[in-house]
Amino acid sequence: MVVHTMQIFDRQGQPLYYREFNRPLAASKDEHKLMYGFLFSLKKLVASLSPKKGGGFYACSTSAYKLHYFETASGLRFVMTTDLAMADMRDVLRYIYSNFYVECLVKNPLWRPGEPITCPNFTKSLERYVATL
Amino acid sequence: MRRVGEAAFSKVEKINSELFSLTYGAIVTQLLKDYEEVDATNTQLEKMGYNIGVRLIDEFLAKAQVGNCGNFGETAEVIAKVGFKMFLGITAEVVGVSEKEFSLQLPENPLAEFVELPEQYGSLAYNNMLCGVLRGALEMVQMRVECSLTKDALWGDEVTEIRVVLKEMMEEEYVDDD
């Protein structure tokens, strides 16, 4: 079980957080912007294809990795790329949201919503958690 | 819905309610000293509430485990039975629901536990921070609303009532800066 990257966007598509855990090949230029554009368009398309109301996407796979997606009602988007062996990660991303994002950032007066996340406590908790996956 | 509220309430940290009322009172008093007039204080309380609401919504969503609301009336129920329970330990009554507006009535109000308004501050909207919290929190879930304190037990009314009017459902859009 390998986690490659983890990133968080806000509603406006600003990258709040990016972290590589195990990524042998370097990221391309403009990756964050492309990623957000991809997620945004995919979400629109998936919604319009759906036979009934609702039914957003939460993961997509390639032959080499899997991308997991979790969106909160407040517009935060959590994205994680892992190897193909990882099953449904929505609960994991929700756990990161409720236990690390809310506890380390939302309750932290030094961080303002919409600012890039530099809080060491958040990174430390996240690293420790990802290591257990 | 009430049960969801109880469950959410059991998950949050509690503090002594008297300490809470007194702290809030101290904030309002300090604002009155700093701004020297009632209207400016009302506005400031609302602004502070807004900034609280913008953050509070994430804790709410993380802990309350509620699904999407189908209509504005459902939103009202969630706020009254889950939101108020979770953060203030009380539940509110929803009255006057329509597509675009609703009112929340608070039979008891932990903020104003020991409060009497002195005569010269008769028009102080002591609970205005609640209006701001609602506005901030709802804005984060794409609802632009206006909130106002229409009745207040401190003004001699029987209950405290907050009117919430939906102005706009905000659409998500893609901002491309190239």
B125-167: pLDDT as tens digits: 999 999 999 999 999 999 999 999 999 999 999 999 999 999 9
CATH node for B2-112+124-169? 3.30.1380.20
Contact A75 B59 (CB under 8 A): no
CATH code for the domain of A92: 3.30.450.70
pLDDT tens for each residue of A37-88: 999 999 989 988 888 877 788 999 999 999 999 999 999 999 999 999 888 8
CA distance A90 to chain B (A): 13
Please name every residue paired with B102 in a beta bridge, in sequence order, or none if there are none.
B164
Which residues on chain B place their C-beta less than 8 Å from a C-beta of chain A? 54-55, 57-59, 61-63, 68, 140-142, 172, 174-176
Q: For A16-45, what is the mean pLDDT?
A: 89
Mean pLDDT of A14-36: 88
Within 8 A of A37 by CB-CB distance, chain B residues are: 174, 176
How would you classify the pairing of strands A3-9 and A77-82? antiparallel
CA distance A23 to chain B (A): 28
Comparison of pLDDT for A60 and B2, the residue scoring more: A60
Q: ipTM higher than 0.90?
A: no
> What residue segments make up the domains of chain B, in order of their start?
2-112+124-169
Nearest Cα of chain B lies from the Cα of A74 at a distance, in angstroms, of 5
Q: Where does the pLDDT of residue B70 fall: very low under 50, low under 70, confident under 90, or very high at 90 and above?
A: confident
Q: Rounded distance, CA A111 to CA A125, Å?
A: 16
- CB nearest to B59's CB, from A40, A75, A106: A106
Instruction: Please state, in angstroms and rounded to a whole number, the distance separating the CA atoms of residues B112 and B124.
Output: 12
pLDDT for A3: 92
Domain count, chain A: 1
Interfacial A residues in 40-79 facing B (CB < 8 Å): 40, 54, 72-76
Contact A97 B172 (CB under 8 A): no
Q: Which domain holds residue A87?
A: 3-131
Tens digit of each residue's pLDDT (9 = 90 or more) over A106-127: 999 999 988 999 999 999 999 9
Distances from the Cα of A71 to the Cαs of A9, A37, B160, in angstroms? 9, 15, 35
